[in-house]
Structure 1
Amino acid sequence: MGSFVTFEKRYYLAQNSVQYLSRRQRKLLEQPYLSAVVVDLSKIEIHLSKETESLLIEAIESISKLEGYVQDKSLVFPTLLLRSEALSSSQIEHYSASNRNVALAQINQKQTKETMIIKANLETLVSSRSVENKIDVATIIKLNQMLLEDDQIYIRNRINWIGTPNSLPHEASYVPPHPEYLLTNLQQFVSFCERDDIHPLILSAFAHAYFEIIHPFEDGNGRVGRILIQLILKQKLFLEHMYLPISVGLVKDQKRYIQALDSFKLGNYENIIQVMLENALALVPKIYTILDKIIILKASWQNRLNLRQDALTWKLLDDLIVQPVFDVKYIKNKYNANDQAVRNNIEALVNAGIVSPIGDKKRDVAYEVKEVLDLLDDFTI
């Protein structure tokens, strides 16, 4: 099919920023820059090499077994893996925070701007799992609004580009499509995502790269694109009971990941598919390990507790895995319990060595489940 991106010449109107440009940059404004035009890929025929087909077969078998393992054991805490996905996906965009600080932000404890950005990424991932309708343009816009915590954000209405700070589009490594093309591009992208003749692992990898070259928003494109991977795998019924935090691998091999996205523009889609499949396969044993450790950890908690079976504490155990930092208010709101009952149950957890207070505050105390946070850190880092 050839390149998935062609280019057209356009002129850039610098408006008020001309006075801050160098003489060389002002000279560049007299010349056109190259703006991407994305080919309609909604009906593309995807042909895989034998190497990629072998990877796909191996990934399907390995991930399907893991999905069955989670379902058979009725595990309710694979949502924990979304924490790793949120941290790693954000790290690709140069935002960093600890698992503990993100969890603190979730219970409204004051945190840094970067931590709040990652918290929004996590909450968008969690919310995306409840999307029942097929992926459409409105859904994609809503994901970006949730991610950036701004319900006034829509498809961008001005050009943007990938380059160094204070650069011009002429100096960019890539200038995505002009705003006049974006709605059509997204409609074509949605049509591609609706296809049932492509395996979800291939569809999600291709769709991620496809979304990247469209780049429909001023900010959040990469993170929304990686959220769409999770959404496609769920909606196509490949992963109904667990999550595949693919960004955990991508962040550790960013050079190859970026190279694969760049080669996609030229029409080479196998590179990004291979990157995704290899990362997925590498994740499977790590996911088994963390899930098995959590099962053992939860059993040890049950042995440490000496309470009647109907105590609130027993109900909290799964929640402590999903939300490993909490306070009295969080438990009260979630379980509609009275203040003293919550405090009594937290005291039982502290006495059993399951949770511990953070810091030495006397009021508004937050508690952490350090054993879970340590497992998360080992998995994510």
Structure 2
Amino acid sequence: MAFLIAKVSLKHMSWPAHRTEQRPWTAQNGRGTRVGVVPEQVAVSIPARIAELDFAAKRTISASEAALIAVTHLEAGQGQYSPPLREFLLRGEAVASSRIEHIDAGWRAFSKAFGGAASRPEAQSQVCAVRALAGLVETAATGRITEASLLSAHRVLIAPEWEKAGRYRTVQTWIGGSDYTPLNALYVPPPPELVPELMADLLAFVARGDVPILVQAAIAHAQFVSIHPFVSGNGRIGRALVSAVLRRRGLTDRVTVPLSSVMLADTSRYFAQLAAYRAGAAEEFVLYLTLAAVYASEGAIDSARTLTTLPRQWRDRARPRAASADEALLANLLDHPILTIAGANALTTTTDSATYRALERLVEAGILEVVSDSKRNRIWAATDILAELDALNAAIGRRTTAGLS
């Protein structure tokens, strides 16, 4: 793995704050009449163009270096600890990002949806988040992050809401306050007619190679969610953009740093840091993200070590016969923690009945759990791996609380 550590410009300058403009407001679909007062104008926030700006950082240099070391340690040790860590962290990051938006079905419902069974909308949404993140990171590995790749990721993310998927918004949106008008909103992003040019400017910034990697990732995320280019899904795509920048710049090659677990641990702090960025305190947000990368990488390394101990524990509990279907399943369970009968058969290369018996023995041993008992689509999940996903979030949360306090 090779990546460039760019020098941080120390010349004196401040990052530009968003400016505010008054724009005419018209109630959409007549909904504004439900809340009494309807504003004639709304104060929108308009981010500065950043494509060619230099970032002046003084306090973030040592934090950036520590973060680079932590992420590099996680990436370099991935093969040593466990090849399945790649999928483990990808799923963990996407699900934690969904939880920030209060989309949480639990790991068992997620496993059911991931296996293809009918499940709750929240579980389906979390599965879409995994696929959107994976797709965006994969395309970033080519060396480019494009408008097309962002729109594609958004299309995957909100596939159930097909009429909004993969398109920039054409209406004014806002965050917080009433569902009907932007009165008392926490944040009103730029009007829709400015979104295409602001996104083009952001993508030009993301394409640069002379900005420190974590600085670029942090500012790209804060700028993206401030532009708020979509009607929905902005937070999840914006957090996926961080992982995509790290992959494009070569800092990561196999792992996804579970940064959303840090943000989830204290969402109030995370949103406050975004507000500070909009006021011109970009350095504060960069420092926040670099520290998050340290906590997330350290927690992920601990989880990787735990994962490598599981196969031996499973064999001790199940005591499979040599060359049996049970042994074949256990040997592949880290790579395939969610199983259908078709997937299990592919691993055991035996008959359905033999595979079913092996799966049932692993259920009796407490290694697998049936998460969908449908006759058409029975699904099993490895309980220890599901538990470790929750443990990873909790461990990163403890690091975050201790470190950021």
Farther-moved stretch of structure 1 (37-46 vs 277-286): 277-286
Match of 1:137 among 139, 144, 147: 147
1:206-229 per-position Cα deviation (integer Å, ceiling 9, x unaligned)? 110010111100000000000111
Structure 1 segment 1-381 matched on structure 2, within 5 A: 1=14, 3-14=16-27, 16-17=29-30, 20-23=33-36, 25-26=37-38, 28-29=39-40, 32-49=41-58, 51-73=59-81, 75-131=83-139, 132-133=141-142, 134-149=144-159, 150=161, 152=163, 153=165, 154-302=167-315, 304-309=318-323, 316-317=329-330, 319-332=332-345, 339-347=352-360, 349-350=362-363, 353-358=366-371, 364-381=377-394
Cα distance in 1 for residues equivalent to 2:170 and 2:331:
45
CA 1:166–1:22 in 2, change beyond 3 Å: closer, same or farther? same
Report the count of equivalent residues: 375
Q: Percent identity?
A: 24
Aligned partners of 1:18, 1:167: CA distance in 2, in Å? 6
- The residue type equivalent to 1:324 in the other structure is P
Separation in 1, partners of 2:349, 2:294 = 42
Distance, in Å, in 2 between the alignment partners of 1:65 and 1:320 is 25
- CA distance, structure 2, for counterparts of residue 215 and residue 178 of structure 1: 10
Post-superposition offset of 1:129: 3.2
What is the SS of the residue equivalent to 2:46? strand
Residue by residue over 1:130-163, the C-alpha shift from the partner in whole angstroms, topping out at 9 and shown as x without a partner, is 2144111111111111100155520111111112
Q: Which stretch of structure 1 is more off in the superposition, 334-343 or 113-122?
A: 334-343
SS in structure 2 of the partner of residue 129 of structure 1 = helix
**Following TM superposition, by how much is the alpha carbon of 1:76 offset from its aligned partner in structure 2, in angstroms?**
3.1
In 2, are the aligned partners of 1:290 and 1:375 still within 8 Å (CA)?
A: yes
Distance 1:362 1:22 in 2: 49
Name the aligned partner's letter for residue 338 of structure 2.
V
Gaps of 5+ in 2: 1-13, 395-405
Change (3 A) 1:64 1:214: same
* Deviation (angstroms), 1:354: 2.9
Separation in 1 of the partners of 2:34 and 2:363? 60
Deviation at 1:240?
0.7
C-alpha distance in 2 between matches for 1:68 and 1:135 = 24
SS in 1 for 2:138: coil
Q: Residues 15 and 275 of structure 1: is their aligned pair in 2 closer, same or farther, counting only changes over 3 Å?
A: closer
Shift of 1:4: 3.5
Q: Which range is displaced more, 110-119 or 235-244?
A: 110-119
Q: CA offset at residue 195 of structure 1?
A: 1.0
Native 8 Å contact 1:100 1:325 kept in 2: no
Alpha-carbon contact 2:117-2:372 (below 8 Å) kept: no
1:30-67: CA deviations, max 9, x gaps? xx211222211011101212x31111111112221221
Q: Specify the SS of the correspondent of 1:75.
A: coil
Change (3 A) 1:347 1:167: closer
Deviations, residues 171-222 of structure 1 (Å, cap 9, x unaligned): 3222211111111111111111111112222211111001011110000000
**CA 54–301 in structure 1, closer or farther in 2 if over 3 Å, else same:** same
Instruction: Please state how far the C-alpha of 1:360 moved relative to its aligned partner.
Output: 7.0
Say which is worse superposed, 358-367 or 133-142, in terms of deviation.
358-367
What is the alpha-carbon distance in structure 1 between the residues aligned to residue 84 and residue 107 of structure 2? 19
| Paired residue type of 1:87 | V
* 1:59–1:281 contact (8 Å) kept in structure 2: yes
Give the letter aligned to residue 96 of structure 2. Answer: S
| TM-aligned CA deviation for residue 103 of structure 1 | 1.1
Segments of structure 1 that go 5 or more residues without pairing to the other structure are none
Compared CA separation, residues 319 and 6, structure 1 to 2 (3 A): farther
Letter in 2 for 1:207: A
Deviations 1:55-94 (A, max 9, x none): 1111112221221111345623332122221222111111
